[in-house]
Structure 1
């Protein structure tokens, strides 16, 4: 939704006039629980794995915390950075969306993880966060630099976010 409606969706509903979403013009974040609730709906904890020839196993593992919003909500994103004390805002190419991204490991380990330990998330987002924290611990211990550790992290990554499976019992 934050990226806008697809052309296919617009063409199938061409008689519908969409309402403008209200601008979220927050100068000050109300409290830490507000951020936790906002992240449940809009945030993402992910693990990026990329080839890197300088690494002895040939891959690099990077944790990322991201929040995407429409570019009109820039002030909100800036307020989040101010509140958390870390992060950068990037603009999606050819889209009207921006993303607050935190990938610096020291910021993740010293700011983001403690923040959500103190302000727990709810639902499936908490499960993704806990898996992400497990990988952060492995990275902090250097386990990601071993083939065994790397493979374990890949397994965790595959079970996060859209890869998460639930038992219907």
Structure 2
């Protein structure tokens, strides 16, 4: 029952089916944490290790010779109760923005190439991401390096990016 009560208090809580099967659950009260600062870059690295995403968007475009546009993105998604935390992170790194993702979640997204290249990548180079997500970050860095020298505008460079 303790596990059910804990589960009922996190993220979206119990499903309607679970609620109907376990009518006497009692969600654990979550403490309200009013953080006003991001402690340091080590904290941010740990948070991103758990919650961050480094990805790339490839869309068809008639504006490029190769027919595709490529955009690097760094993203954190959190429940709406943590919107202020995402705003603090945006202020702390001095780039990106916070966007609504439906009624229950918010995203912090850095999509400007220069910000990813000059702010986000150096942060996690100096304060490394841990675990398997480090591989995602390394791929992100490889693609950024190719874009930085214009390789994404060639067939060969695009093929290399698609391979990564």
Establish whether residue 11 from structure 1 lines up as the match of residue 16 from structure 2.
Answer: yes
Q: Which runs of 4+ in 1 moved over 4 A?
A: 16-24
Q: TM-score, normalised by structure 2?
A: 0.85
Describe the superposition over 1:11-37 as per-residue Cα deviations: whole angstroms up to 9, x where unpaired. Answer: 331224544654443110111100000
Describe the superposition over 1:33-58 as per-residue Cα deviations: whole angstroms up to 9, x where unpaired. Answer: 00000001110000111111111111
Query: Would the alpha carbon gap of residues 50 and 24 (structure 1) be closer, same or farther in structure 2, given more than 3 Å must change?
Result: farther
Query: Would the alpha carbon gap of residues 56 and 71 (structure 1) be closer, same or farther in structure 2, given more than 3 Å must change?
Result: same
Q: Aligned ranges for residues 102-113 of structure 1 at < 5 Å?
A: 102-113=110-121
Matched with 2:150 is 142
User: Which one of the candidate residues 95, 100, 103 is aligned to 1:91?
Assistant: 100
> Could you say what secondary structure the match of 1:45 adopts?
strand
Q: TM-score, normalised by structure 1?
A: 0.82
**Relative CO higher for 1 or 2, CA cutoff 8 Å, sep ≥ 6?**
1
Matched with 2:141 is 133
User: Which one of the candidate residues 99, 104, 116 is aligned to 2:124?
Assistant: 116
Matched with 1:66 is 75
Matched with 1:55 is 64
In structure 1, stretches of 5+ residues that fail to align are: 157-169
In structure 2, stretches of 5+ residues that fail to align are: 1-10
User: How many residues matched?
Assistant: 152
Matched with 1:36 is 45
Greater radius of gyration (CA): 2
Alpha-carbon distance in 2 for matches of 1:22, 1:69: 17
Alpha-carbon distance in 2 for matches of 1:87, 1:23: 26
Matched with 1:165 is none
